[in-house]
Amino acid sequence: MICVYTEQRWPQIVRAIGSVLAQDVPAAQIVVVVDHNPALLDRARHAFPDLTVVPNAGPRGLSAARNTGVARARGEIVAFLDDDAEAEPDWLARLLPHYRDERVLAVGGRAVPAWQEDRPRWLPPEFDWVVGCSFIGQPTEASPVRNVIGCNMSFRRAVLARTDGFDPALGRIGRTPVGCEETELCIRIRQQHPEGVVLYEPAALVRHRVTTDRATWRYFRRRCFSEGRSKAVVARLVGGDAGLSAERAYTRRALPEGVRRGLRQLRDGDRTGLLRAGAIVAGLLVTASGYVFGQAMRASHVAGRPDRARRGAAPEPVRVLAVELAEGVPAVPDGGGPDGNRYVAAQVLVRLHGQPLGLFDVPLPAGGLTAAGLAGVIRERLAEAVDEHLREDGLPPLERRDARPDGKFDVGPACPPRRPAEHPSVSVVVPSC
């Protein structure tokens, strides 16, 4: 199964499919799931008429796309390959023999980075998970593990069916660097099948493409923070002990050894060893801060939520607002909801110089969200979209601007309209049951 979402990756998609077609052990079926992109769906169906090419039948995102593919799968084993990865010819031949043991529920393989340019010298191999690859700290031979890695994994189809598959509350949506859906699924599978085994087979190899935008310090920070938030969700869904067991061992053993190795390299004359040691410390701190942030947001949401006497009660109210960054970021109060209830969340449409940049939901803590707090969420969620707009206007990106004490944005005056001022009138119909 290969899930795809953008035509910008068409060359990688073709190579990924080609690597599966060239397997020593042929796949009985190749399923390509297209995530809410009709043009890409038509192109894939035309290019690969012999494959099962289907649209995502669920909400937008990788988890729902995978569940759609599982529903169309006919094989006893379902193997997943990312759309920007290429499998070695013996990939399936290395994964499948382990399923002769009936206790084996899932088998994952190793992913090595295929850099578009040179590997950043500051990036420690302990943090290759940031770019979706295997990392130091994982087993070096076939061994039981807590969870497999998303770009190179396989499951018994019957197990996926019994566990309802991937949780859409987790998983990447477009280019948003979130994840942990395979972690949560593997933990849930083991909880339902205590005698079962999840295996890691490093000989089952794929090469995962890493583009230049993912080889930056900025992406490293965002990915670590998002990973921490995702771990907070996993811990809430499956419990802290199960959700963080592998991370505790990784933090106690692999990361300190990585720091020591970097310092030894510095002592031996390699100055970049200090950079790698520092990146390990920074990455751990940023990931931990993301986890704390995710836990705090959840705690604030729960603390301010009125009790419901029964299931099926009316949905809790959500405040809806639009923010024009050129006019400033407002505070978001939580009072004034229908029937005197507080708003438990806000849905925020963000514009810059009149152009929509994104729409997102954010929980509202008791007392509401300050202007600086909302500005921080906008920076986290939409920094790339803001920077792209500013570049098109010939303005410097956010990271080159001095941060204001109130957390708001200094984005300059409105620019001339990008489209003709006159439009035909448009009626929008929103049906509701």
- Say which residue the tokens 């669920």 belong to: 58
More confident residue, 329 or 411: 329
Same domain assignment for residues 67 and 191: yes
- Asked whether residue 144 is assigned to any structural domain, the reply reads yes
Lowest mean pLDDT among 183-197, 384-398, 409-423: 409-423
Same domain assignment for residues 41 and 156: yes
- Asked whether residue 369 is assigned to any structural domain, the reply reads yes
Look at residue 371 and tell me whether its pLDDT is greater than 80.
yes
Number of domains, the chain: 2
Same domain assignment for residues 72 and 195: yes
Same domain assignment for residues 46 and 157: yes
Q: What angle do CA 152, 383, 386 make, to 5 degrees?
A: 125
- Asked whether residue 278 is assigned to any structural domain, the reply reads no
Look at residue 381 and tell me whether its pLDDT is greater than 70.
yes
Q: Which of 173, 205, 220 is the last residue of a domain?
A: 220
- Asked whether residue 433 is assigned to any structural domain, the reply reads no
- pLDDT on residue 104: 97
Q: What is the pLDDT of residues 180-214, one digit of tens each?
A: 788 889 988 988 898 999 999 999 999 999 999 99
Q: Which of 220, 235, 251 is the last residue of a domain?
A: 220
Q: How far apart are CA 63 and CA 429, in angstroms?
A: 29
- pLDDT on residue 241: 66
Cβ-based neighbours of 69, under 8 Å, separated by 6 or more? 1, 3, 31, 33, 54, 78
Same domain assignment for residues 207 and 329: no
Cβ-based neighbours of 249, under 8 Å, separated by 6 or more? 137
Total-model pTM: 0.65
Helix (H) or strand (E) holding 55: strand 52-55
More confident residue, 410 or 387: 387
* Stretch 33-46: mean pLDDT: 95
Sheet containing 2-4, strands listed edge to edge, beginning at the edge strand earlier in sequence: 2-4, 31-34, 52-55
Q: Which of 173, 190, 220 is the last residue of a domain?
A: 220
Same domain assignment for residues 341 and 201: no
Task: Give the structural domain span for 347.
Answer: 318-400
Show the tokens assigned to 121. 């010298």
- Asked whether residue 244 is assigned to any structural domain, the reply reads no
The SS3 assignment for 148 reads coil
- Asked whether residue 310 is assigned to any structural domain, the reply reads no
Same domain assignment for residues 329 and 216: no
CATH number at residue 42: 3.90.550.10
- Asked whether residue 279 is assigned to any structural domain, the reply reads no
Strand partners, 286: none
Same domain assignment for residues 347 and 201: no
Same domain assignment for residues 193 and 69: yes
Q: What is the pLDDT of residues 6-24, one digit of tens each?
A: 999 999 999 999 999 999 9
CA atoms within 13 A of residue 300's CA, in its CB half-sphere = 19
Residue 353 CB neighbour total at 10 angstroms: 20
Question: Torsion over CA of 263, 268, 272 and 273, rounded to 10 degrees?
Answer: -20
Look at residue 73 and tell me whether its pLDDT is greater than 60.
yes
- Asked whether residue 130 is assigned to any structural domain, the reply reads yes
